[in-house]
């Protein structure tokens, strides 16, 4: 029976140990700098490029809105014979006409187009801030995936060490075969977890590559070490700053001004435009002549159309006012939620970094020494190992939550801390 158990343990070790050590023995990855990643995202991310082009397109509408209608020229053959001989017409008229909008109409339309351009610029800034936040969070996810793999490989080395210790103790009769089997089963469990961790790393890499407009399989380096932020936020100051700077709020404020300008423009459209025309008559059988005419449109006949447009834009302005107040309220609430999450995660990360993890490492060291000196059983050693692994993962999870919350706060405020 003893020989059978030892043979089984040897087969597990021979089959699984090369698999769990492969990733740890790979060539070290180059460092992946967050600032360089953010710079690449700003230059290549499709969402940012799309928003920037929308902003450019909106800016080009301003001169279009303020321009007059094109002048018109025309040639008229007057009194053509019934045989349609155009060259034998009695007169040829050469005309030039131009539409002149009522005073102030073009300026108001230009104001509306300018506000549209400013709204597009705020939208582009909102997209840029969102993408920056997503890139940071994807970077932090990749960092966590690498840390989880690193913890895993260190746990594998511990399990292999425990297995060797157990084999030595079994050989001299100080431990039973059951301890050896437990060591090998723990190594087997760690080996199975490797595949899941590798998949999580690949997913994190694919997400970050997508944001960088790369192929999902493009190689990425190792994220640099993260530290717990020392930023000390003040709730009221952050809420006020976010209220004034957040693009969504600024867009609604611009929408209010746009609605006011649209109302003015709709009211100004009740005044008629002027069409002026001059013509030179080439009279074939008599003296040539000039002709001049002025025409105006009569908007009062369709007054309901213009009044409907005025009411529409007044309603749009009131909608923007309500939307602005809603955005302000949501901004204040979101900043408070993020701040609570940030401080809670940071407090937890600090607690683990300064207190819990050092104690867990001491517990594992004591359990290892105790097992070697036969003061505790193998189950205590395995529990200490699992406890350290879980606590390390919890620490890095809290650190990542802290950084992610800070990234969202930076998106709300529009600047980095």
- Across the range 117-137, mean pLDDT stands at 96
Q: CA-to-CA distance for 305 and 310, rounded, in angstroms?
A: 9
Pairing relationship of beta strands 222-223 and 274-283 according to DSSP bridges: unpaired
CA atoms within 13 A on the CB side of 397: 6
- Mean pLDDT, range 309-330, rounded to an integer: 94
Q: What is the pLDDT of residues 26-85, one digit of tens each?
A: 567 889 999 999 999 999 999 999 999 999 999 999 999 999 999 999 998 888 776 677
Please state at what angle helix 357-372 crosses helix 378-413, rounded to 10 degrees. 170
Higher model confidence: residue 375 or residue 340?
A: 340
Residue 230's domain comprises 2-413
Residue 190 has pLDDT above 90, yes or no: no
Average pLDDT on 310-338 reads 95
Q: Which pLDDT does position 18 carry in this prediction?
A: 45
* 37 neighbors 135 (Cβ within 8 angstroms): yes
Assign 326 a pLDDT band (cuts: 50, 70, 90): very high
Residue 348 CB contacts under 8 Å (≥ 6 apart), including other chains: 394, 398
Closest CA relative to residue 65, chosen from 11, 27, 101, 12 = 101
Six-digit token string for 362: 């001491």
Q: Where are the alpha helices (DSSP H) in 212-302?
A: 235-245, 247-268
What is the DSSP annotation of 6-37? HHHHHHHHHHHHHHHHHGGGSPPPPEE-HHHH
Q: Between 68 and 21, whose confidence is greater?
A: 68
Q: Tell me the mean pLDDT in the region 219-240.
A: 91
Q: What are the residues whose beta carbons fall under 8 Å from the beta carbon of 171, sequence distance 6 or more?
A: none
Kindly report the average pLDDT of the chain as a whole number: 87
On whether the CB atoms of residues 52 and 124 are closer than 8 A, the answer is: yes
Q: What is the pLDDT of residue 180?
A: 67
Q: What is the mean predicted confidence (pLDDT) over 135-145?
A: 96
Span 70-107, pLDDT tens digits: 999 999 888 877 667 777 778 889 999 999 999 999 99
Find the length of the chain: 417
Contact predicate 181/5, CB 8 Å: yes
Report whether 335 contacts 235 (CB < 8 A): yes
What's the pLDDT tens digit per position in 357-399?
Answer: 999 989 888 888 887 777 777 778 788 888 888 899 999 999 9
**Pair of tokens at residue 394:** 């919890």
Looking up tokens 């070790």, which residue turns up? Answer: 13
H-helix segments, 212-355: 235-245, 247-268, 303-351
> Residue 74 belongs to what H/E stretch?
strand 72-78
Q: Roughly what angle, to the nearest 10 degrees, separates helices 46-66 and 34-44?
A: 40
- Give mean pLDDT, residues 103-120: 94
Total-model pTM: 0.83
C-alpha angle with apex 345: 344 to 351, nearest 5 degrees? 90
**Which pLDDT score is estimated for 214?**
94
pLDDT: which is higher, 14 or 168? 168
Q: What is the mean pLDDT of residues 266-295?
A: 91
Instruction: Count the helix, strand and coil residues of the chain and give each as a percent rounded to the nearest 5.
Output: 75, 10, 20
Mean pLDDT of 303-322: 93
Total domain count, the chain: 1
Question: Are 416 and 410 contacting, i.e. CB atoms less than 8 angstroms apart?
Answer: yes
Residue 263: pLDDT over 90: yes
**231 phi/psi in degrees, rounded to 5:** -60, 130
Evaluate if residue 24 carries a pLDDT over 60: no
Q: What is the pLDDT of residue 213?
A: 95
> Which letter, b or e, does each residue of 228-260 get, where b requires 16 or more Cβ atoms within 10 Å of its Cβ?
bbeeebeeeebbebbbeebbbbbbbbbbbbbbb
pLDDT value for 175: 64
Better-predicted residue by pLDDT, 7 or 250: 250
* pLDDT value for 162: 74
> Can you give the CATH number for the domain in which 100 is found?
1.20.1600.10
Q: Are 39 and 135 in contact (CB under 8 A)?
A: no
The predicted pLDDT at position 225 comes to 92
Between the two ends of the chain, the Cα-to-Cα distance in Å is: 65
């Amino acid at each position: 029976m003893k020989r059978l158990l030892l043979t089984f343990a040897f087969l597990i070790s021979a089959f699984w140990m090369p698999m769990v050590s492969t990733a740890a023995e790979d060539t070290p990855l180059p460092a992946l700098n967050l600032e360089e990643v953010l710079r690449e995202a700003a230059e290549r991310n499709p969402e940012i490029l799309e928003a920037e082009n929308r902003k450019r397109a909106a800016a080009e509408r301003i001169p279009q809105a303020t321009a007059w209608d094109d002048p018109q020229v025309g040639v008229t053959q007057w009194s053509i014979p019934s045989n349609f001989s155009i060259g034998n017409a009695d007169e040829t008229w050469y005309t030039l006409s131009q539409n002149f909008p009522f005073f102030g109409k073009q300026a108001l339309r230009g104001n509306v187009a300018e506000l549209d351009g400013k709204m597009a610029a705020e939208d582009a800034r909102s997209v840029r801030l969102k993408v920056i936040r997503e890139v940071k969070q994807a970077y932090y996810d990749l960092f966590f995936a690498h840390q989880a793999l690193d913890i895993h490989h260190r746990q594998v080395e511990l399990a292999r060490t425990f297995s060797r210790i157990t084999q030595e103790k079994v050989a001299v009769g100080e431990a039973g075969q059951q301890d050896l089997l437990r060591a090998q089963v723990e190594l087997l469990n760690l080996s199975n977890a490797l595949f899941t961790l590798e998949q999580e790393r690949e997913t994190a890499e694919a997400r970050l590559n997508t944001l960088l407009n790369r192929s999902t399989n493009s190689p990425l380096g190792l994220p640099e070490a993260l530290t717990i932020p020392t930023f000390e936020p003040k709730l009221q100051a952050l809420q006020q700053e976010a209220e004034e700077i957040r693009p969504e709020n600024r867009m609604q404020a611009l929408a209010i001004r746009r609605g006011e300008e649209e109302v003015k423009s709709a009211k100004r459209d009740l005044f008629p435009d002027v069409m002026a025309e001059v013509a030179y008559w080439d009279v074939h059988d008599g003296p040539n002549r000039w002709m001049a005419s002025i025409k105006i449109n009569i908007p009062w006949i369709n007054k309901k159309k213009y009044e409907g447009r005025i009411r529409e834009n007044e309603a749009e302005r009131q909608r923007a006012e309500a939307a602005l107040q809603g955005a302000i309220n949501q901004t204040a609430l979101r900043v408070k939620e993020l701040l609570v999450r940030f401080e809670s995660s940071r407090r937890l990360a600090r607690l683990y970094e300064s207190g819990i993890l050092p104690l867990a490492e001491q517990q594992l060291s004591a359990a290892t020494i105790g097992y070697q000196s036969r003061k505790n059983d193998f189950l205590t050693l395995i529990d200490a190992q699992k406890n350290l692994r879980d606590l390390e993962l919890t620490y890095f999870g809290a650190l990542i939550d802290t950084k992610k919350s800070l990234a969202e706060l930076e998106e709300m405020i529009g600047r980095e801390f």
